[in-house]
Amino acid sequence: MKAEVAFYRRLEEKNVNCEVCPHNCRIKPGRRGICRVRVNLDGTLYATNYGEHSSIAVDPIEKKPLYHFFPGRNILSVGTVGCNFSCGFCQNYRIAHEDAPTRFLSPDELLRLAEECRARDSVGVAYTYSEPLMWYEYLRDVLPVIKEAGFKNVLVTNGYINPQPLEAVLPHIDALNIDLKSFSEEFYRRQCGGRLEPVKETIKLCAGRTHVEVTTLLVTGLNDTPEEIDELSRWLAGIDPSIPLHLSAYFPAYKVSLPPTSRATMAMAREVAARNLNYVYVGNMAGFENDTLCPHCRALLVSRRGYQVRIDNLDGDRCAVCGQTAPLVN
């Protein structure tokens, strides 16, 4: 189903300028933007993926990954098609860049599904799998419906959006996991077809206003030096050292056939990042401890064995041992 795009300008000769994301595509009649899901039809810009779901599942919330937001619970997870990045190492390329089959769900139908999933311990809806910000017109309508019914809204995103559209939906978002794919402009330009600065702006804009966790996929030889990991984690700590950073291991996918991230690289990256941040986790690779400890007294707050999660010493948002605030939403 198609819906008129929320943020764009009409130009001369039926051209349009999309203002949803920092690509700010100028689109001629009959043409699509970089994300492929916005099309100029005779001078009006439409999103063609409105309500179209390519993937629907109930997942552990740790799989998003979110480790400090309702640990141990599940979440209904949905995704559409399209992406405004072109990462050669995309781990979800079939739905992001190819034509996956979709099923339409109106906002009320998604709410009914969220209600059914309550029985499976789901806390709400995660918009994930491809790039949820490319679902912007649907999000604008569905987020308030889900939130007003008492559910949580979670976005797993590349953070590549303009500030004005982000501000318009932020009050309805309870948590985000934002990819910070590298700390190099060149990496973003060459590997993703985007820019680093707007992603940093998104993280700064969201942190402190809603729950934020960050993920960095370490791609062998492209963004995995100790210097870059130090710079990235130092910058994140400047916003808030308690923002959880998930370092994720890469596996060859889509157009990139570099070797998988090594165990030694993951261990090094964790050690470097943990000098700057209170919570650094390792994902996509077995054998690393991913427990959450109290930053004050080091008591075990949450233990994790894969997706087996146990809450040990949490009393609401406080450590039950020393009484200090623990930055977990529970």
Question: Which residues are near ligand SF4 by CB under 6 A?
Answer: 18, 20-21, 23-25, 33-35, 38, 84
In the complex with ligand SF4, which residue's Cβ is closer, 193 or 260?
A: 193
Closest distance to ligand SF4 from the beta carbon of 5 (Å): 7
DSSP 190: I
Q: At what angle do helices 263-274 and 226-239 cross, to 10 degrees?
A: 40
Closest distance to ligand SF4 from the beta carbon of 266 (Å): 32
In the complex with ligand SF4, which residue's Cβ is closer, 24 or 242?
A: 24
Nearest position to ligand SF4, beta carbon:
33
Confirm if 96 and 130 have CB atoms less than 8 A apart. yes
Closest distance to ligand SF4 from the beta carbon of 138 (Å): 13
Degrees (nearest 5) of the Cα angle 125, 131, 132? 35
Nearest to 304 by CA among 321, 316, 287, 318: 287
In the complex with ligand SF4, which residue's Cβ is closer, 5 or 100?
A: 5
In the complex with ligand SF4, which residue's Cβ is closer, 49 or 216?
A: 49
Distances (CA, A) of 195 to 23, 85, 113, 198: 9, 10, 36, 6
Closest distance to ligand SF4 from the beta carbon of 38 (Å): 4
In the complex with ligand SF4, which residue's Cβ is closer, 23 or 68?
A: 23
Closest distance to ligand SF4 from the beta carbon of 164 (Å): 13
Q: DSSP letters of 16-57? A: EEE-SSTT--EE-TT-B-TTSSEEEETTEEEES-TTEESEEE
